[in-house]
Amino acid sequence: MKKRVFGTTKDGKEVFLYTLENKNGMKAEVTDFGAILVNLFVPDKNGTLQDVTLGYDQVADYEANGSFFGATIAPNANRIAGASFVIDGVTYQLDANDGPNNLHSHFDIGGHKRVWEAEPGEGSIRFTVKLPDGEMGFPGNKVCSITYTLTDDNALRLDYHASTDKKTILNLTNHAYFNLAGHDKGLITDHVLMLHAGYYTPVVAGAIPTGEIAPVAGTPLDFTKEKRIGDEIEADFEQLKLVSGYDHNYVIDNWNGELQLAARISEKTTGRTMEVYTDLPGIQFYAGNCIAETTGKGKTVYGKRDGFCLETDYFPNAVNEAAFPSPVYGPEKDYTSVTIYKFI
């Protein structure tokens, strides 16, 4: 495994970039800053490698990273209504960083802004971070880890593990933005997507779920059959207007806690297809509607809908919705989950 200096954080910590490579030449580069996926070089139909994830060339930009490019989100991904929740009668207050709500734990001191401990292995690397009791408002002394493994069948596997000494929310995800044509190729609206999800969680303003689980059938949110992302993204449909396009949690069909195929997405010009597998109940499809213009890798200027996310997680605001699968874990049960991005 190759290791090189990636830069120095503003508080003087040296951080590194680690390269995983398989027998086919596919490469994943990850950093101990935020356990971030920085680069992912994937062959096209002709065997040509291109980087298919949006991101930056230097750690200083990841210290800002308003769009969470490549970030490991910990301890909780997605939104919590009112930036508060109750566990066993105790109310916990979080940072209201998305209007009145909380998004991705904390913008400044969340897991994606920490230096994680790196443990390189054989074809894999594990990153671990400790999050103290009460920090960011979350109870429990938490130890969170993610292991990246690149396999010879062109799959990037993400194994998550977290433990706590007190009941808390544990709901980690990776916030990679993909563009299967290449990170610098602009709009992703020509990508063709299929989701193994016949239901979704409708939202109100602020992208907070109503608590309902609704069918996608007959709506522009239906991706149960292959459909070009751009076909209906501007449709006159209230759910799209509320979040400026697709940014919704989909309920994975027949979820039982086992690893299963959740999504398949293709880009015709390169012939790249990516499958997403998860053992979690939800997948957030975000079409990059709100990517603020920023200069990224190779001086590429990224903007609206230049990348998409397929974030595996518990449903948004699940801690406050009794009908949703619960993201609450305690000392008696560790959090574990697996996400696989497989290229075929």
Q: Catalytic positions, please?
A: 175, 311
3-class SS letters over 173-196: EECCCECCCCCCCCCCCCCEEEEC
Cβ neighbors of 108 (< 8 A, separation 6 or more) are none
Placement of tokens 């563009």 in the chain: 179
Lookup: tokens for 274: 């990516």
Residue 63: enclosing H or E segment and its boundaries?
helix 59-64
Query: Which residue, 312, 327, 264, is CA-closest to 158?
Result: 312
304: alpha, beta or left, given left = phi > 0 and alpha = psi -120 to 50? Answer: beta
Please count the CA atoms within 13 angstroms of the CA of 134 that sit on its side-chain side.
0
- The type of residue at 140 is G
Evaluate whether 129 touches 117 at the Cβ level (below 8 Å).
Answer: yes
Omega of the bond leading into 327 within 30 degrees of 0 (cis): no
